[in-house]
Amino acid sequence: MQLPPADMACYNRLADLPYVEWRYWVTTYLSIIQIIISIVLTILILLQVKGGAFGTSSDSSVFRTRRGVERTIFQLTIFFAFLFILVAMAAVLVSRV
């Protein structure tokens, strides 16, 4: 690996970064992404209607199909839960390398 000249102070390619610095930045970005996904996932879970606000439900347990916005929120919740698991696995793999 050949280092850039000293007058190129703004030279910052990912391939030329030292290994420790690269791992630090990837871990930082994955942590930020994980926090954002967890906030979105929490909001989506709280928005799902299952009887009432914050889990208070009535005695009628009638099963019905999800339609419209409720179905979209349900599918987004599944997607963000899967994405959260993938980001968490990636963070563990990067930290162990």
Q: Mind listing the pLDDT tens digit for each residue in 35-79?
A: 999 999 999 999 987 655 555 555 556 667 778 888 999 999 999
Q: Mind listing the pLDDT tens digit for each residue in 35-47?
A: 999 999 999 999 9
- Indicate the pTM of the whole model: 0.66
What are the angstrom distances between the C-alpha of 70 and each of 4, 31, 32, 37, 49?
A: 55, 29, 28, 19, 7
Residue 53 CB neighbours (<10 A): 8
What is the sign of the dihedral through the CA atoms of 29, 33, 36 and 42?
Answer: negative
Give residue limits of the domains in the chain: 37-51+66-97
